[in-house]
């Protein structure tokens, strides 16, 4: 499978009244056709802002200051807002965290699906749009779709509302689906159902998925590859098995240690000490250096390059660099 999306050196700044937040700092990643990539990290690591930069939906005080977003041979950062409107929803769609903020409370759910079709499938008749909306409601596992078509969001459960949001996102058979914490607002049982649904739909419509999450349990269930973000940077990427069984970056190891384990009853959860860096004044070296128990002088002064940890697995950590100890000794 070839690459359908490739992001290089993406850099996003957010202007605030206190100064400029360097929210995303030179991020590189790619997405293959029909693949699921999970982007993980703590809140504030830059996951959502990265994807909003890809979609061209940054807040007014946000700006892509450097980098490229290549989609089917075109750089989306060079597109006008009018051009991006043709891409969003039709070619690349996004599912947001809370379905109640994504859905219009005053409009019936069937009509909301039709709005997407009216925007991007202008050749469809009114009857065809309605038939497609009912088909999509059925596809996402909503029973009695004809009746649900005429209901308002408040008449549906949280799980059903999220299914409606997924139906809207998939209305035009997008090539890429970006899901920003799609299960956070749902209880555990419904979370599993939504993840199963996304897996099944991916096979049916052959889309590629980027899922943003801080829940590594979600990652294990749905992802093919994982990208770990911290302090606005990508610190490790690899196949899901490699990340879980052979993590290379100390931050990734910390995330994995913090997962509750069913067979260890009564044990304490292992939190990562410290707090994320202030991205108004980001560290010049490894962003995790201040919280890392293995930190060296070189970690604080220089940002490490990526080191290969295996096939499709790389990490930006000085501990993996053969020259690190030597450089560290010289700096003392």
Residue 157, both tokens: 């459960």
Same domain (yes/no): 164, 211: no
Regarding whether 194 and 306 lie in a shared domain, the answer is yes
Alpha helices, DSSP H only, in the chain?
47-55, 81-87, 99-102, 109-120, 126-139, 145-148, 158-169, 188-205, 216-222, 240-245, 250-257, 297-301, 324-331
pLDDT in tens, the chain (332 residues): 799 999 999 999 999 999 999 999 999 999 999 999 999 999 899 999 999 999 999 999 999 999 999 999 999 999 999 999 999 999 999 998 888 888 999 999 999 999 999 999 999 999 999 999 999 999 999 999 999 999 999 999 989 999 999 999 999 999 999 999 888 878 888 888 888 999 999 999 999 999 999 888 889 889 999 999 999 999 999 999 999 999 999 999 999 988 877 666 666 778 899 999 999 999 999 999 999 999 999 999 999 999 999 999 999 999 998 776 565 555 55
| Residue range of the domain that includes 23 | 3-91+174-331
> Is 326 within the bounds of a domain?
yes
Question: Residue 152 and residue 321: Cα distance in Å, rounded?
Answer: 57
CATH of the domain at 201: 3.40.50.300
Q: Which of 26, 64, 49, 20 is nearest to 287 (CA)?
A: 26
Name the domain count of the chain. Answer: 2
Q: Where does residue 105 fall: left (phi above 0), alpha (psi -120 to 50 degrees), or beta otherwise?
A: alpha
Q: Are residues 79 and 152 in the same domain?
A: no
Residue 96 forms part of a structural domain? no
Residue 7 lies in a domain: yes
Q: Are 213 and 40 in contact (CB under 8 A)?
A: yes
């Amino acid at each position: 499978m070839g690459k359908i999306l490739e992001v290089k050196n993406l850099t996003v700044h957010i202007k605030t009244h206190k100064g400029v937040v360097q929210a995303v700092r030179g991020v590189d990643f790619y997405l293959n056709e029909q693949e699921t990539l999970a982007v993980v990290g703590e809140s504030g690591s830059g996951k959502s802002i990265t994807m909003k930069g890809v979609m061209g939906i940054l807040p007014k005080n946000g700006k892509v200051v450097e980098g490229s977003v290549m989609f089917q041979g075109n750089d989306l950062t060079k597109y006008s807002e009018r051009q991006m409107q043709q891409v969003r929803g039709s070619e690349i769609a996004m599912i947001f965290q809370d379905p109640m903020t994504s859905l219009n409370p005053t409009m019936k759910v069937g009509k909301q699906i039709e709005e997407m079709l009216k925007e991007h499938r202008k050749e469809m008749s009114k009857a065809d749009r309605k038939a497609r909306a009912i088909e999509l409601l059925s596809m996402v596992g909503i029973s009695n779709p004809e009746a649900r078509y005429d209901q308002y969001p408040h008449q549906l459960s949280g799980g059903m509302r999220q299914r409606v949001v997924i139906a809207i996102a998939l209305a035009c058979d997008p090539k890429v689906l970006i899901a920003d914490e799609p299960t956070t607002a749902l209880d555990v049982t419904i979370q599993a159902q939504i993840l199963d649904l996304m897996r099944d739909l991916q096979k049916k419509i052959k889309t590629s998925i980027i899922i943003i999450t801080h829940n590594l349990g979600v990652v294990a269930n749905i992802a093919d590859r994982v990208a770990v973000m911290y302090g606005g940077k990508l610190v490790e990427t690899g196949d899901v098995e490699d990340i879980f069984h052979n993590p290379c970056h100390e931050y990734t190891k910390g995330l994995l240690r913090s997962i509750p384990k069913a067979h260890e009853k009564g044990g304490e959860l292992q939190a990562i000490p410290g707090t994320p860096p202030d991205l108004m004044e980001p560290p010049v070296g490894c962003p995790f250096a201040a919280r890392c128990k293995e930190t060296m002088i070189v970690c604080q002064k220089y940002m490490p390059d990526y080191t290969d940890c295996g096939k499709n697995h790389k990490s930006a950590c000085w501990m993996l660099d053969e020259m690190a100890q030597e450089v560290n000794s010289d700096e003392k």
